[in-house]
Structure 1
C-alpha cells in the first residue's frame, strides 16, 4: 500500500466536512502502527474542485470547496502526503466542443495552448498543471500531485473506441515520466483506471469499458509499461 484515499470525489459533495477528521483518524492509526512513513493518507478529488482551470496558470479551487480544501492541503503538506486527483481528458473533451481530439489523445503535432512561457501539446499536462497552480494559490506549493485515476473507454459510442483508448493509454504511459511544462522532468505518478471492464455496471454505457482487460480476463490492448 502507498496511499489511503479517504473519500473518492467527495469534495464537493454531501458532508465534505467529515473528510479531514476521517483522514486524521487514519493518520493516527498509521502512526500507532509506525507505518506513517510508508503509507500516506489523502483524499481523491476530480476536476469538479476547480473554479478556474484554463489557462493552467490560472488554476484555482472554487469558492465552494475552498474552506474544505484549505485545511486538507495543510494536512497534506505537514505529513508529506500528495493530493490524489482523478484526471480524465476524455470527459473534458466531451464537455468542451473547442477541445481538439488530438489534444486529448497526446497526438497533437505541435503546441495547442500557450500560457505565458509555457507551451502545452496535450490536455493531460494542462489539467495536471492547473492542479499545481491551484495548490500553489492555497499555500500548497510543496504538495505533490498523484493522478489516482485516468483512462479512456473503449466502447459506448462517440470517441469511446478501442483505437482511441489504445492511443491514449500508450501515449500516457510513454509521457508521464517526462513531467509537465510547469514541472519538467518530474515524474507524474499515475494510475490507470481500470484493470477489468465493469460489464455488470448499470446503467450500461461507456462506464462499462475502461478496463485494460475484458470481463472474461482477456487482454484488450497491447501495452508496454
Structure 2
C-alpha cells in the first residue's frame, strides 16, 4: 500500500465502517470477534507475517472535545471497544485504517468553510499549540493521532483506506471540485510533509475508480458518483499522478446512438407519468437529477426523458425497455444539454448492438465495483 510493495504486507479488510452511528450498534458485538478469527486463520495458514488483518473505520469513531485536533479521543460509546481493537491491531503489526471524507463535512454543514475542505489556501488557519492546520484532512487525521496517543498507541501506523470527492448528486459534488480536491490531495501527500502530527509519507487510497450506479443512496445521491473515470473509461477530469495523467480506456464500443425520451405530445398531467418515472428510477439511476446536480436545470420533460433513458440504457437498449404506457419513443437526436449527459450503454458480453438480446447490465460492467484507486506515495 506504500511506495515499495515488495517489502510491505498485504492487508485483509474485515468489514467496512461497522461502527457508523447510523447503524445503531448493530455490529458492535461481531466486528472484533471476526477480526480475531480472520487473524487466527492467517496465522494458522502461515501467513501471519505477510498478511495483516485490519478493519476500515469511518472517521466518526473518534471526535474532538474541542475544535482542535488535540482534543481528540475515541467516541465515548465505543471507547473501550476501540482501545481493544487498537491493541489487537498493534500486537499483530497491523495499521489503523480510516476513511476520511472532507466532502461529508461540507455536505452535513452548509456553513462549513468551503476552502477548508481543500488544499489550496484557507485564510482562517487553526493553531493547535503551535501546529497550524489549513485543511480539514490534516485536522481530521491528527485528531485520530491524538486519540491513539492518549490511549497509549501514539506510534501506530495509519492508512487512509478511502478518500475522494464525488462529481454529481449534490450542489458541491461536481468535476471542478473533485479535480481541485484530488489533485490538491495528491500534491499535499506527495510532498512527503505529512500532517503536523505525523511528518512523512501518507498511505492513502482514492475512492473510487468508477461510479457505482447501484450503490445505496441512503447517505445521499452523491454516493453513486465517486469515480475518477466515467462509466465508459474516460477520465472525468484531468488528474496527474507521478507526472502522468489519466489515460482513457481504448476501443470502447457503444450501443446504437439512440435514446428513449418522453413524447412531447404527452401531457404532464397524464396519470401514468409519475408511476412510470418512479418505476424507471427505482430500477436505474436518476441521481443526476435534482437541485445543484449536473442535470438540475432540465425542464419537466427533460427530467422524465432522463429517467426513461437511464432505464432503457441499463437494459441494453431492449425495445421493451422504452415502452412506458405510450409515453415514450426512441430518438436519434442526442437530448444531452450542457453538462447533463444522456448516456448510451457500452457494449458488453451481455448486450448486443441492437439491444435485442442479453440480460440487463449495469453501466459499470466494464470494471469490478468497489474498486479502490491506489495513490502511490514514493
TM-score by shorter chain over 0.5: yes
Matched residue SS, 1:178: coil
The yes-or-no answer on 1:45 pairing with 2:57 is yes
In structure 2, how many angstroms separate the alpha carbons of the residues matched to 1:16 and 1:157?
A: 31
Tell me what 1:178 maps to. Answer: 193
- The normalised TM-score by structure 2 is 0.56
Query: Shift in Å at residue 18 of structure 1?
Result: 1.6
Q: Structure 2: state its 5+ residue gaps.
A: 1-8, 242-378
In structure 2, how many angstroms separate the alpha carbons of the residues matched to 1:171 and 1:39?
A: 31
Out of 137, 142, 150, which is 2:163 matched to?
150
Q: Structure 1: state its 5+ residue gaps.
A: none
In structure 2, how many angstroms separate the alpha carbons of the residues matched to 1:108 and 1:2?
A: 36
Query: Shift in Å at residue 146 of structure 1?
Result: 0.6
Tell me what 2:11 maps to. Answer: 3
Out of 123, 126, 134, which is 1:121 matched to?
134
Deviations along 1:125-148, one digit per CA (max 9) or x if unpaired, are: 100000111111122212111110
Larger Rg: 2
Query: Shift in Å at residue 110 of structure 1?
Result: 5.2
Matched residue SS, 2:137: helix
The yes-or-no answer on 1:167 pairing with 2:180 is yes
Matches within 5 A, 1:1-225: 2-12=10-20, 13-52=25-64, 54-109=67-122, 112-176=125-189, 177-184=192-199, 186-203=200-217, 205-225=221-241
Instruction: Give the aligned CA root-mean-square deviation in angstroms.
Output: 1.8
Query: Shift in Å at residue 32 of structure 1?
Result: 2.1
Query: Shift in Å at residue 23 of structure 1?
Result: 1.2
- Check the 8 A contact 1:111/1:120 in 2, yes or no: no
In structure 2, how many angstroms separate the alpha carbons of the residues matched to 1:29 and 1:46?
A: 25
**CA 1:47–1:215 in structure 2 vs 1: closer, same or farther (change >3 Å)?**
same
Query: Shift in Å at residue 45 of structure 1?
Result: 1.1
Query: Shift in Å at residue 175 of structure 1?
Result: 1.1
Matched residue SS, 1:8: coil
Query: Shift in Å at residue 22 of structure 1?
Result: 1.2
Deviations along 1:20-71, one digit per CA (max 9) or x if unpaired, are: 2211111112112222222211111112212426311111111101121111
Query: Shift in Å at residue 103 of structure 1?
Result: 1.2
In structure 1, how many angstroms separate the alpha carbons of the residues matched to 2:40 and 2:28?
A: 20
Query: Shift in Å at residue 160 of structure 1?
Result: 0.8
In structure 2, how many angstroms separate the alpha carbons of the residues matched to 1:138 and 1:19?
A: 20
In the alignment of these two chains, the number of paired residues is: 224
